[in-house]
Structure 1
Amino acid sequence: MPAAVLIPCRLRILIIGKKEIMDSYQHILLAVDVSEHDDQVIRKAKHLADIFHAKLSIIHVLDDIPMPDTAYGTIIPLHEVSSYELLEKEKSSFMQIGNRLGVDASCRWMVWGVPEEEIVRIAEREHIDLIIVGSHGRHGLALLLGSTANSVLHHAKCDVMAIRLREETGREQSIRENGERSITNLNPEIA
Protein backbone atom coordinates (compact mmCIF):
# COMPACT_ATOMS: atom_id res chain seq x y z
CA MET A 1 0.00 0.00 0.00
CA PRO A 2 1.39 3.46 -0.88
CA ALA A 3 2.34 5.85 1.94
CA ALA A 4 -0.46 8.28 1.03
CA VAL A 5 -3.70 7.65 -0.84
CA LEU A 6 -6.20 10.22 -2.09
CA ILE A 7 -9.69 8.75 -1.96
CA PRO A 8 -12.29 10.39 -4.24
CA CYS A 9 -15.42 11.38 -2.36
CA ARG A 10 -17.48 14.46 -1.67
CA LEU A 11 -14.71 15.74 0.57
CA ARG A 12 -11.10 15.08 -0.31
CA ILE A 13 -9.49 13.01 2.39
CA LEU A 14 -5.78 12.34 2.42
CA ILE A 15 -4.88 9.16 4.25
CA ILE A 16 -1.30 9.25 5.43
CA GLY A 17 0.67 6.37 6.89
CA LYS A 18 1.48 6.51 10.62
CA LYS A 19 5.19 7.24 10.04
CA GLU A 20 4.41 10.26 7.86
CA ILE A 21 2.05 11.64 10.51
CA MET A 22 4.61 11.36 13.28
CA ASP A 23 7.31 13.01 11.18
CA SER A 24 5.12 15.82 9.82
CA TYR A 25 5.52 18.62 12.37
CA GLN A 26 8.24 18.89 14.99
CA HIS A 27 7.73 22.48 16.18
CA ILE A 28 4.43 24.40 16.11
CA LEU A 29 4.12 28.15 16.72
CA LEU A 30 0.75 29.36 17.98
CA ALA A 31 0.12 33.07 17.41
CA VAL A 32 -2.31 34.33 20.05
CA ASP A 33 -4.16 37.59 20.45
CA VAL A 34 -4.86 37.77 24.17
CA SER A 35 -7.36 40.59 23.70
CA GLU A 36 -9.64 38.32 21.70
CA HIS A 37 -11.46 35.13 22.50
CA ASP A 38 -9.32 32.53 20.77
CA ASP A 39 -9.82 29.46 23.00
CA GLN A 40 -10.84 27.46 19.95
CA VAL A 41 -7.49 28.19 18.29
CA ILE A 42 -5.62 27.34 21.49
CA ARG A 43 -7.45 24.02 21.86
CA LYS A 44 -6.77 23.05 18.24
CA ALA A 45 -3.08 23.96 18.51
CA LYS A 46 -2.72 21.84 21.66
CA HIS A 47 -4.54 18.97 19.95
CA LEU A 48 -2.24 19.10 16.91
CA ALA A 49 0.88 19.33 19.08
CA ASP A 50 -0.30 16.23 20.95
CA ILE A 51 -1.09 14.32 17.74
CA PHE A 52 2.31 15.08 16.18
CA HIS A 53 4.25 14.91 19.47
CA ALA A 54 5.51 18.35 18.46
CA LYS A 55 7.09 21.06 20.56
CA LEU A 56 4.60 23.93 21.03
CA SER A 57 5.65 27.58 21.22
CA ILE A 58 3.47 30.68 21.51
CA ILE A 59 3.82 34.28 20.39
CA HIS A 60 1.84 37.44 21.10
CA VAL A 61 2.80 40.62 19.25
CA LEU A 62 2.07 44.02 20.78
CA ASP A 63 1.56 46.58 18.07
CA ASP A 64 -0.42 49.52 19.35
CA ILE A 65 0.10 50.12 23.07
CA PRO A 66 2.19 53.27 23.60
CA MET A 67 5.11 52.84 26.01
CA PRO A 68 5.83 55.67 28.43
CA ASP A 69 9.31 57.22 28.42
CA THR A 70 10.48 56.78 32.00
CA ALA A 71 14.22 56.41 31.37
CA TYR A 72 14.91 59.80 32.97
CA GLY A 73 12.25 59.78 35.65
CA THR A 74 9.53 61.36 33.52
CA ILE A 75 6.14 61.63 35.22
CA ILE A 76 3.76 59.20 33.53
CA PRO A 77 0.49 60.85 32.43
CA LEU A 78 -2.74 59.16 33.55
CA HIS A 79 -3.58 57.79 30.07
CA GLU A 80 -0.16 56.10 29.95
CA VAL A 81 -0.70 54.53 33.37
CA SER A 82 -3.81 52.87 31.95
CA SER A 83 -1.69 51.73 28.97
CA TYR A 84 0.78 50.20 31.43
CA GLU A 85 -2.09 48.45 33.20
CA LEU A 86 -3.34 47.16 29.85
CA LEU A 87 0.14 45.85 29.04
CA GLU A 88 0.31 44.07 32.41
CA LYS A 89 -3.12 42.54 31.80
CA GLU A 90 -2.04 41.27 28.37
CA LYS A 91 1.17 39.87 29.85
CA SER A 92 -0.79 38.08 32.57
CA SER A 93 -3.23 36.61 30.03
CA PHE A 94 -0.34 35.49 27.82
CA MET A 95 1.39 33.79 30.75
CA GLN A 96 -1.86 32.02 31.69
CA ILE A 97 -2.20 30.67 28.14
CA GLY A 98 1.41 29.44 28.23
CA ASN A 99 0.87 27.79 31.61
CA ARG A 100 -2.38 26.17 30.49
CA LEU A 101 -0.65 24.70 27.43
CA GLY A 102 2.43 23.64 29.38
CA VAL A 103 4.69 25.74 27.14
CA ASP A 104 8.21 26.17 28.51
CA ALA A 105 9.17 29.78 29.32
CA SER A 106 11.92 29.64 26.66
CA CYS A 107 9.23 28.97 24.01
CA ARG A 108 7.07 32.02 24.79
CA TRP A 109 7.53 35.29 22.90
CA MET A 110 5.71 38.51 23.74
CA VAL A 111 7.27 41.06 21.41
CA TRP A 112 6.70 44.56 20.02
CA GLY A 113 6.29 45.07 16.30
CA VAL A 114 4.14 44.41 13.28
CA PRO A 115 2.37 41.10 14.04
CA GLU A 116 2.86 39.40 10.67
CA GLU A 117 6.54 40.39 10.50
CA GLU A 118 7.33 39.26 14.04
CA ILE A 119 5.47 35.95 13.67
CA VAL A 120 7.40 35.13 10.48
CA ARG A 121 10.72 36.30 12.02
CA ILE A 122 10.33 34.09 15.10
CA ALA A 123 9.15 31.16 12.95
CA GLU A 124 12.29 31.36 10.81
CA ARG A 125 14.65 31.88 13.74
CA GLU A 126 13.21 28.96 15.72
CA HIS A 127 12.85 26.57 12.74
CA ILE A 128 9.07 26.30 13.07
CA ASP A 129 7.30 23.69 10.88
CA LEU A 130 3.75 25.00 11.33
CA ILE A 131 2.30 28.38 12.33
CA ILE A 132 -1.26 28.39 13.67
CA VAL A 133 -3.23 31.65 13.60
CA GLY A 134 -6.85 32.62 14.11
CA SER A 135 -8.74 34.10 11.18
CA HIS A 136 -11.84 36.29 11.30
CA GLY A 137 -12.94 35.54 7.73
CA ARG A 138 -13.02 39.23 6.82
CA HIS A 139 -15.18 40.69 4.09
CA GLY A 140 -15.27 43.93 2.11
CA LEU A 141 -12.60 46.55 2.81
CA ALA A 142 -10.92 44.46 5.53
CA LEU A 143 -10.52 41.65 3.00
CA LEU A 144 -8.89 44.00 0.47
CA LEU A 145 -6.51 45.44 3.06
CA GLY A 146 -5.52 41.99 4.26
CA SER A 147 -5.13 40.45 7.68
CA THR A 148 -2.39 39.10 9.88
CA ALA A 149 -3.32 35.51 8.95
CA ASN A 150 -3.24 36.32 5.23
CA SER A 151 0.09 38.13 5.45
CA VAL A 152 1.68 35.32 7.49
CA LEU A 153 0.38 32.81 4.95
CA HIS A 154 2.07 34.66 2.08
CA HIS A 155 5.40 35.38 3.80
CA ALA A 156 6.13 32.34 5.98
CA LYS A 157 8.48 29.67 4.68
CA CYS A 158 6.66 26.95 6.63
CA ASP A 159 3.08 25.66 6.65
CA VAL A 160 0.41 28.00 8.03
CA MET A 161 -2.93 26.90 9.43
CA ALA A 162 -5.58 29.62 9.71
CA ILE A 163 -8.43 28.63 12.00
CA ARG A 164 -11.63 30.55 11.42
CA LEU A 165 -12.76 32.17 14.66
CA ARG A 166 -16.39 31.59 15.50
CA GLU A 167 -18.25 34.74 16.49
CA GLU A 168 -19.29 34.84 20.15
CA THR A 169 -22.88 35.27 21.20
CA GLY A 170 -23.65 38.09 23.65
CA ARG A 171 -24.06 35.50 26.42
CA GLU A 172 -20.66 33.90 25.69
CA GLN A 173 -18.98 37.30 25.70
CA SER A 174 -20.60 38.16 29.04
CA ILE A 175 -19.41 34.89 30.56
CA ARG A 176 -15.87 35.44 29.26
CA GLU A 177 -15.65 39.06 30.41
CA ASN A 178 -17.38 38.69 33.79
CA GLY A 179 -16.38 35.17 34.70
CA GLU A 180 -20.08 34.42 35.08
CA ARG A 181 -20.58 30.74 35.76
CA SER A 182 -24.01 30.57 37.39
CA ILE A 183 -26.70 28.22 36.18
CA THR A 184 -30.23 29.60 35.97
CA ASN A 185 -32.57 27.89 38.41
CA LEU A 186 -35.43 26.45 36.37
CA ASN A 187 -37.49 25.38 39.40
CA PRO A 188 -39.27 28.46 40.90
CA GLU A 189 -39.94 26.61 44.19
CA ILE A 190 -36.22 26.35 44.98
CA ALA A 191 -34.80 29.66 46.04
Structure 2
Amino acid sequence: MSGIVVVGVDGSETAMRAAETAKELATALGASLRVVTAFDKKRTEVVESGGDKWILSDADEAEKIALDVATKLADGKLGISYTAAFGKPGEALIQEAERVGADLIVVGNRRMQGIGRVLGSVANTVAHNAPCDVYIAKTDEP
Protein backbone atom coordinates (compact mmCIF):
# COMPACT_ATOMS: atom_id res chain seq x y z
CA MET A 1 0.00 0.00 0.00
CA SER A 2 2.66 2.53 1.11
CA GLY A 3 -0.02 5.13 1.76
CA ILE A 4 -1.13 7.09 4.81
CA VAL A 5 -3.27 6.02 7.76
CA VAL A 6 -4.81 8.89 9.74
CA VAL A 7 -5.90 8.44 13.35
CA GLY A 8 -7.69 10.92 15.59
CA VAL A 9 -6.68 11.26 19.23
CA ASP A 10 -7.79 13.45 22.11
CA GLY A 11 -5.58 12.32 24.99
CA SER A 12 -8.09 9.75 26.29
CA GLU A 13 -7.40 6.09 27.00
CA THR A 14 -9.90 5.02 24.34
CA ALA A 15 -8.24 7.25 21.72
CA MET A 16 -4.89 5.67 22.59
CA ARG A 17 -6.43 2.25 21.89
CA ALA A 18 -7.55 3.51 18.47
CA ALA A 19 -4.03 4.87 17.86
CA GLU A 20 -2.49 1.50 18.73
CA THR A 21 -4.86 -0.20 16.29
CA ALA A 22 -3.95 2.38 13.63
CA LYS A 23 -0.26 1.66 14.22
CA GLU A 24 -0.84 -2.07 13.74
CA LEU A 25 -2.79 -1.45 10.53
CA ALA A 26 -0.22 1.01 9.15
CA THR A 27 2.59 -1.44 9.88
CA ALA A 28 0.73 -4.34 8.25
CA LEU A 29 -0.09 -2.23 5.19
CA GLY A 30 3.38 -0.72 4.84
CA ALA A 31 1.87 2.74 5.28
CA SER A 32 2.87 5.74 7.35
CA LEU A 33 0.81 6.98 10.30
CA ARG A 34 -0.55 10.51 10.77
CA VAL A 35 -1.72 11.31 14.34
CA VAL A 36 -4.26 14.14 14.45
CA THR A 37 -5.78 16.07 17.35
CA ALA A 38 -8.62 18.46 16.63
CA PHE A 39 -9.28 21.79 18.30
CA ASP A 40 -12.37 23.87 17.66
CA LYS A 41 -11.60 27.13 19.41
CA LYS A 42 -8.91 29.57 18.38
CA ARG A 43 -8.16 30.94 21.85
CA THR A 44 -4.78 32.33 22.78
CA GLU A 45 -3.42 33.41 26.13
CA VAL A 46 -0.34 35.48 26.89
CA VAL A 47 1.55 34.39 30.00
CA GLU A 48 4.33 36.52 31.43
CA SER A 49 6.78 35.57 34.16
CA GLY A 50 9.61 37.91 34.98
CA GLY A 51 11.07 38.97 31.64
CA ASP A 52 9.74 35.94 29.77
CA LYS A 53 6.58 35.94 27.73
CA TRP A 54 4.75 32.91 26.26
CA ILE A 55 1.78 32.76 23.95
CA LEU A 56 -0.33 29.67 24.55
CA SER A 57 -3.12 28.53 22.25
CA ASP A 58 -5.59 25.70 21.84
CA ALA A 59 -3.63 24.70 18.72
CA ASP A 60 -0.46 24.32 20.81
CA GLU A 61 -2.25 22.14 23.36
CA ALA A 62 -3.75 19.96 20.63
CA GLU A 63 -0.37 19.57 18.96
CA LYS A 64 1.18 18.50 22.29
CA ILE A 65 -1.43 15.76 22.61
CA ALA A 66 -0.73 14.53 19.07
CA LEU A 67 3.04 14.64 19.71
CA ASP A 68 2.65 12.69 22.95
CA VAL A 69 0.72 9.92 21.22
CA ALA A 70 3.12 9.86 18.25
CA THR A 71 6.05 9.58 20.67
CA LYS A 72 4.40 6.69 22.56
CA LEU A 73 3.77 4.84 19.29
CA ALA A 74 7.23 5.40 17.81
CA ASP A 75 9.26 2.24 17.31
CA GLY A 76 11.79 3.31 14.68
CA LYS A 77 10.17 1.10 12.03
CA LEU A 78 7.05 3.09 11.19
CA GLY A 79 6.96 6.60 9.74
CA ILE A 80 4.85 8.66 12.13
CA SER A 81 3.88 12.32 11.82
CA TYR A 82 1.48 14.41 13.89
CA THR A 83 -0.53 17.60 13.69
CA ALA A 84 -3.28 19.69 15.23
CA ALA A 85 -6.25 20.37 12.95
CA PHE A 86 -8.86 23.09 13.39
CA GLY A 87 -12.50 22.08 13.48
CA LYS A 88 -14.87 19.68 15.16
CA PRO A 89 -13.13 16.29 15.54
CA GLY A 90 -14.90 14.40 12.76
CA GLU A 91 -14.67 17.26 10.30
CA ALA A 92 -11.03 17.96 11.18
CA LEU A 93 -10.09 14.31 10.55
CA ILE A 94 -11.84 14.33 7.19
CA GLN A 95 -10.14 17.56 6.14
CA GLU A 96 -6.71 16.27 7.20
CA ALA A 97 -7.29 12.99 5.36
CA GLU A 98 -8.20 14.96 2.22
CA ARG A 99 -5.20 17.26 2.64
CA VAL A 100 -2.64 14.44 2.91
CA GLY A 101 -4.38 12.01 0.55
CA ALA A 102 -4.95 9.39 3.24
CA ASP A 103 -5.95 5.86 2.30
CA LEU A 104 -7.53 5.03 5.67
CA ILE A 105 -8.92 6.84 8.71
CA VAL A 106 -9.01 5.00 12.04
CA VAL A 107 -11.42 6.15 14.75
CA GLY A 108 -12.66 4.60 17.97
CA ASN A 109 -16.20 3.45 18.60
CA ARG A 110 -16.63 5.59 21.73
CA ARG A 111 -20.07 7.24 21.93
CA MET A 112 -21.56 4.98 19.27
CA GLN A 113 -24.09 3.55 21.73
CA GLY A 114 -26.96 5.08 23.68
CA ILE A 115 -27.47 8.84 23.66
CA GLY A 116 -24.10 9.41 21.95
CA ARG A 117 -25.37 7.47 18.96
CA VAL A 118 -28.45 9.69 18.75
CA LEU A 119 -26.48 12.92 19.13
CA GLY A 120 -23.73 11.78 16.78
CA SER A 121 -20.16 10.70 17.18
CA VAL A 122 -16.80 11.24 15.55
CA ALA A 123 -16.93 7.72 14.08
CA ASN A 124 -20.39 8.34 12.64
CA THR A 125 -19.36 11.65 11.06
CA VAL A 126 -16.20 10.16 9.59
CA ALA A 127 -17.90 6.98 8.35
CA HIS A 128 -20.50 8.98 6.43
CA ASN A 129 -18.22 11.66 4.97
CA ALA A 130 -14.68 10.29 4.64
CA PRO A 131 -12.83 10.54 1.32
CA CYS A 132 -11.26 7.13 1.95
CA ASP A 133 -11.78 3.86 3.80
CA VAL A 134 -12.66 4.02 7.49
CA TYR A 135 -11.77 1.52 10.22
CA ILE A 136 -13.77 1.78 13.44
CA ALA A 137 -11.68 0.27 16.24
CA LYS A 138 -13.37 -1.28 19.27
CA THR A 139 -12.06 0.95 22.03
CA ASP A 140 -14.80 0.80 24.66
CA GLU A 141 -13.22 -2.25 26.34
CA PRO A 142 -9.53 -2.77 27.17
Paired amino acid for 2:16: D
Q: Sequence identity, in percent?
A: 26
1:67 pairs with 2:43 = yes
Aligned AA (2:43)? M
Distance in 1 (CA, whole Å) between partners of 2:65 and 2:104 is 23
Once the two structures are TM-superposed, the CA of residue 89 in structure 1 deviates from its matched residue by 5.5
CA distance in 2, matches of 1:120, 1:46: 19
1:128 counterpart residue number: 102
Q: Does 1:28 align with 2:5?
A: yes
How many residues are paired up? 131
**TM-score scaled to structure 1, two decimals?**
0.58
- Residue of 41, 45, 52 corresponding to 2:22: 45
Match of 2:19, as an amino acid? Answer: I
Structure with more of its chain in strand, by fraction: 2
Q: Highest Rg: 1 or 2?
A: 1
Secondary structure of the residue aligned to 1:33 is: coil
State the TM-score, normalizing by the size of structure 2: 0.75
Q: Is the 8 A contact 2:67 2:83 kept in 1?
A: no
Pick from 72, 97, 102 the counterpart of residue 100 of structure 1. 72
Judge conservation of contact 2:22–2:106 (CA < 8 Å) in 1: yes
- After TM superposition, the structure 1 = structure 2 runs for residues 85-96 of structure 1, keeping only pairs within 5 Å, are 90-96=62-68
The alpha carbon displacement at 1:85 in A equals 8.8
Gaps in structure 1 of 5+ consecutive residues: 1-22, 77-83, 169-191
**What corresponds to 1:11 in structure 2?**
none
Unaligned runs of 5+ in 2: 49-55
Distance in structure 1 (CA, Å) of the matches to 2:58 and 2:45: 16
Contact 2:38 2:62 in 1 (8 A): no
Query: Considering only aligned residues, what root-mean-square deviation do their CA atoms show, in Å?
Result: 2.9
Residues 131/145 of structure 1: CA separation in 2 closer, same or farther (3 Å cut): same
Structure 2 CA distance for partners of 1:89 and 1:122, relative to 1, 3 Å: closer
